[in-house]
Structure 1
Amino acid sequence: MYAERNDRPGAIKPGSLAMAIAINAGVLSAVLLAAPEIIKIKPPVPIEIINIPIEPPPPPEPVQPRAKTDPAPQPKPILADPIIKIDRPVDVTFPGTTIIPTGPTGTSEGTGVIIDPPAPPPVLIEPSIDDRYRSSFQPAYPPAEQRAERSGFVVVRVLIGIDGRVSAVERVSATSDDFFETTRRTALGKWRFKPATRGGAPVERWRVMRVTFQIEEA
């Protein structure tokens, strides 16, 4: 019975197993006993440092002195004409007028041409408020300012024409835009003046007007 089991195909024989173990043990012993390989490392080559001399920079070029230039000529001061003192009066003759003496020279006898003095400039009379329209000069109180119970004032320049009406209004100062706007509309529509006159003839003229807005206490 035992002889048949050991002779089966594919069965491991005891002799072959022992031989395989012996071969592996020999190989392992050879690896363990082999001397390690020593790798030699070459020492680093020293670096030689060479100092290269640097040539000094060339000396700076000498600075040439600037040529002196003559200063610009200064303007000569303008001197006022000297005052000439005259001990005796000087006769003044207007252009186009000739005085003809009739008496001997150096005497006061005779008559000459009498020169009338120049006419004075025409008199300018500034414009004034026409009393017939004085009650219309106060503008209506702006509703927003009245609700806020706010007082104020407006200063304007008005151009008064030859008919006494206002043709232009310029704002000088005002407490608010509402105060100015109601003043401007009233001036253009209701204000009436006695126009300015120059030598009796009516002329246009500017005048500054101030309007005050005041809340009346009950």
Structure 2
Amino acid sequence: MELMLDTANLEEIKKGLEIYPINGVTSNPSIIKAEGKIDFFNHMHQIRSLIGEERSLHVQVVAHDAEHIIAEAERILKILGSNTFIKIPVTEEGLKAIKILASRQVNITATAIYTTMQGILAMLAGARYLAVYYNRMLNIDIDAAKVIRELSSLLWANSTNCQILAASFKNLSEITTSYANGASCCTVPYALLQTGLHMPSITKAVHDFSENWEKIYGNRTLLDF
């Protein structure tokens, strides 16, 4: 089971790494846009420096035809390292590129997956991660949990090293439902991840513990005994 940060913001990544059990960082053109007109590869290098080599970095191509997708993937790998995961949307041209790159042992994150069939094709083509767009699927009346469940059962049945990477979340319930239905990884915006710990009930429980302790021992802590 893995957790990734879906952001390219350096401060969010720094804070996230300090607090949460982060396994990697995912990005896409929309996430990059939020950072403004940055020096793209320099920014990606900074992210790699923050997360280290033990965590995964997922970088998306922007080309649409297989030839240029492969060319962009090669440039990404040359600049950022061969352990970088190349994110490729599962279209006909994308699938063609996934097959070729996977045959070269390139790590592929197949993205923009809305259907079980897309996931099956990407898995068979050699993708390592299947990025399923949870909330976007719900918005067009696709049963996202069902798709994850179906893909998960197929992955187990075929003993593949491919994993389901659920993405595109708007609330915590979508994240927990993804995990519960078989997603081995979720990539989550930092702000949404924070809400999992910032609840009034948690704050009250901690306050009550402190209040009851102080009634017995005052301001002393366990270090004072």
Same fold, TM-score > 0.5, yes or no? no
TM-score by length of 2: 0.13
TM-score, normalised via structure 1 length? 0.14
Q: Computing the radius of gyration over CA atoms, which structure comes out larger, 1 or 2? A: 1
